[in-house]
A and B are shown apart, each in its own frame.
Chain A
Amino acid sequence: MSAESSTPNAENATPARLTRKLVVVSAGLSQPSSTRLLADRLTTATVDRLTERGVDVSVEVVELRELAHDITNNLITGFAAPKLQKALDALTSADGLIAVTPIFTTSFSGLFKSFIDVIEPTALTDLPVVIAATGGTERHSLALDYAVRPLFTYLHAVVAPTAVYAASSDWGSSADAGSSALPDRIERAAAELTALTIASDRSSRVIDPFALPAGFSPVGGYGAQ
């Protein structure tokens, strides 16, 4: 029997390629936005590396600007309109996340935080994340580490060590004594996210919305009865 005779469905055919699901959240407000620009550079670098490693990667970009009304309505009514729900579902089953926000008044933007606030507290558990931000001045670059990183840590996401901050000037400057150029920082973050994303099994997990807590009893568990 020759190897050529095996059907595409045969168990012993070439091993199934890895598939991974990457979600990109951009909280930029202007059109076009430098926040989206940074998100796109990070996405391209990550997808290239995953493809090089033999991974089939799907990308879903969530532009928060387009969801701004739905996000506010969710805060008010407690439920997500269909378009927002689709974005929340994508995050819940993602293997990797690129999250980019402008820095406003020393922190993530209000829209970015409002979006985070409508995500189920457990929906990002174990999710590999690269955090990135844009700003007018490089003086706010630490906002990524004192504001954005703790946010994702609280949600039990796995935040890559390299966070990418792009000030306006970064788009037209090269490396200096203190730091590498923006493209190099993007590449380093993409490499970290690639390794974490390949290791993720989140998109293949089966989520049971009715899972009862361990040890739950419908009559109580405190020695009553």
Chain B
Amino acid sequence: MQFGIFSVSDVTADPTNNTTPTEHQRIKDIVTIAQKVEEVGLDVFALGEHHNPPFFSSSPTTTLGYIAAKTDKLLLSTSTTLITTNDPVKIAEDYAMLQHLADGRVDLMMGRGNTGPVYPWFGKDIREGIPLAIENYALLHRLWREEYVNWEGKFRTPLQGFQATPRPLDGVPPFVWHGSIRSPEIAEQAAYYGDGFFANNIFWPKEHYMQLIGYYRSRFEHYGHGTAQQAIVGLGGQAFMAKNSQDAVNQFRPYFDNAPVYGHGPSLEDFTEQTPLTVGSPQQVIDRYASMREYFGDYQRQLFLMDHAGLPVKTVLEQLDFLGEDVVPVLRRELAENRPASVPDGPTHASLVAARDAAEADAARETLTVQDAAGESGSDGTADSAAESDSDGSADSAPDSTADSTDAELASERS
């Protein structure tokens, strides 16, 4: 089970004193926060991508590359990478580059983005969001897996004999999650590739996400990547803690009431009841998040939104201490209990390399077996070549391939 933080990179005034950090300060703070995420023993730091203020994170691989150099174990991810408006060729190159520099500590979450003007700013049409996400990812998936790609699609210039560079580390592309708030097409896409599916889970009632994740799990099984139980699921979450639960409520309320996304709307009390936001003692957060698997099944990744809505960096770092010291160690224990052995852990570069090697070894054994059988029966070799072509290690034919997938509308990206 992987735990981490996802940031939407908003630069927001602190409503308690009306001060706003400069972009420079906020950008330096995000590095501090990411380092702290590793220091307190969490696994993942994911950063959003935006092309409009008040967000700073237009260039996630620059930031993540810098964080990679400042950390040792932290898995770096995105929340989300805009698969609609970015050129998939550039995504393939940027993230393969990052993957090398970070020694494989990289995965991505694909999202469509819901800021209308960003689409035309990048020459796209928001009404084609889903077709863009589907086609662009299909190309990205091939660029990381095939040396020379010939491509013709609806949305970008054709490619003839194009080789994306650098090639993915160890020949294994970064794992991909697809995020979606409500589109079954994206759940279907994630299931088709055997990729992960991330449910933001922050804004909507859990019943909605239970349906969406249930759908993804059943389609994951349908496409032959494993059982529904083995599908790769990530959830978003949100918490604010103090030793004493009433202190947490009092401290967080002004930030909640003025938050860019849900401020001036529902009461804190209604919102905590209707969504996973938990404001209280560490024990309350443990109880809430230990129960998630009852609704969504055993899952692989839990990310928390922590630095947003103008919370000062000092407060964010304190919250990370609560998470790392009081909450996550207990959650790791509780979520490991009664977790079926067949449910995989969250994918890492090492696990993907191991899975690839195992699949190749299986394929090689299978080929030998078929060759033996063919030899015994005096076959003219037709069976051999058929078996080889079935088992030459193509990722699509490997049932345990975790491939990659991406796309999620994230925290700030409601549809």
Note whether A and B form a binding pair: yes
List A residues at the B interface (Cβ < 8 Å). Answer: 72-73, 76-79, 81-82, 85, 209-213, 216-225
Residues B185 and A220 in contact, CB atoms below 8 Å apart:
no
List B residues at the A interface (Cβ < 8 Å). Answer: 131, 134-135, 138-139, 151-155, 184-185, 187-189, 191-193, 203-205, 208, 211-212, 215, 261-262, 264-266, 270-271, 274, 414-415
Residues A212 and B185 in contact, CB atoms below 8 Å apart:
yes
Residues A77 and B203 in contact, CB atoms below 8 Å apart:
yes
Residues B211 and A209 in contact, CB atoms below 8 Å apart:
yes
B132 and chain A: residue at smallest CB distance: A220
Residues A224 and B154 in contact, CB atoms below 8 Å apart:
yes
Find chain A residues with CB under 8 A from B274 CB. 79, 81-82
Set A73, A85, A221: member contacting B265, Cβ < 8 A: A73
Q: Could you tell me the distance between the alpha carbons of A222 and B189 in the complex, rounded to whole angstroms? A: 16
Residues A76 and B262 in contact, CB atoms below 8 Å apart:
yes
The distance from the CB of A70 to the nearest CB of chain B, in whole angstroms, is: 8
Q: Could you tell me the distance between the alpha carbons of A48 and B249 in the complex, rounded to whole angstroms? A: 53
Interface of chain B: mostly helix, strand, loop or mixed = helix
Find chain A residues with CB under 8 A from B415 CB. 78
Find chain A residues with CB under 8 A from B262 CB. 76-77
Q: Could you tell me the distance between the alpha carbons of A224 and B149 in the complex, rounded to whole angstroms? A: 12
Find chain A residues with CB under 8 A from B215 CB. 210
Find chain A residues with CB under 8 A from B154 CB. 220, 222-224
Residues A224 and B193 in contact, CB atoms below 8 Å apart:
no
Besides A77-B265, A222-B154, A224-B138, 6 other A-B contacts (C-beta < 8 A) = A81-B270, A209-B184, A220-B135, A222-B155, A223-B153, A224-B152
Given A218-B193, A220-B134, A224-B151, decide whether A210 and B187 contact each other with a Cβ distance below 8 A. Answer: yes
Residues A82 and B204 in contact, CB atoms below 8 Å apart:
no
Residues B205 and A82 in contact, CB atoms below 8 Å apart:
yes
Find chain B residues with CB under 8 A from A209 CB. 184, 211
Q: Could you tell me the distance between the alpha carbons of A14 and B218 in the complex, rounded to whole angstroms? A: 41
The distance from the CB of B309 to the nearest CB of chain A, in whole angstroms, is: 14
Given A81-B270, A224-B154, decide whether A219 and B203 contact each other with a Cβ distance below 8 A. Answer: no
Residues A79 and B153 in contact, CB atoms below 8 Å apart:
no
The distance from the CB of B238 to the nearest CB of chain A, in whole angstroms, is: 13
The distance from the CB of B141 to the nearest CB of chain A, in whole angstroms, is: 8
A/B interface sample: 23 pairs, CB < 8 A: A72-B265, A76-B264, A77-B261, A77-B262, A77-B271, A78-B414, A78-B415, A79-B205, A81-B270, A82-B274, A211-B184, A212-B185, A213-B185, A216-B188, A217-B134, A218-B134, A218-B188, A219-B138, A220-B153, A222-B131, A223-B153, A224-B153, A225-B138
Q: Could you tell me the distance between the alpha carbons of A221 and B192 in the complex, rounded to whole angstroms? A: 15
Residues A212 and B184 in contact, CB atoms below 8 Å apart:
yes
Set B151, B208, B266: member contacting A77, Cβ < 8 A: B266
Given A76-B264, A81-B270, A81-B274, decide whether A222 and B153 contact each other with a Cβ distance below 8 A. Answer: yes
Find chain A residues with CB under 8 A from B211 CB. 209-210
B184 and chain A: residue at smallest CB distance: A210
The distance from the CB of B88 to the nearest CB of chain A, in whole angstroms, is: 11
Q: Could you tell me the distance between the alpha carbons of A172 and B212 in the complex, rounded to whole angstroms? A: 54
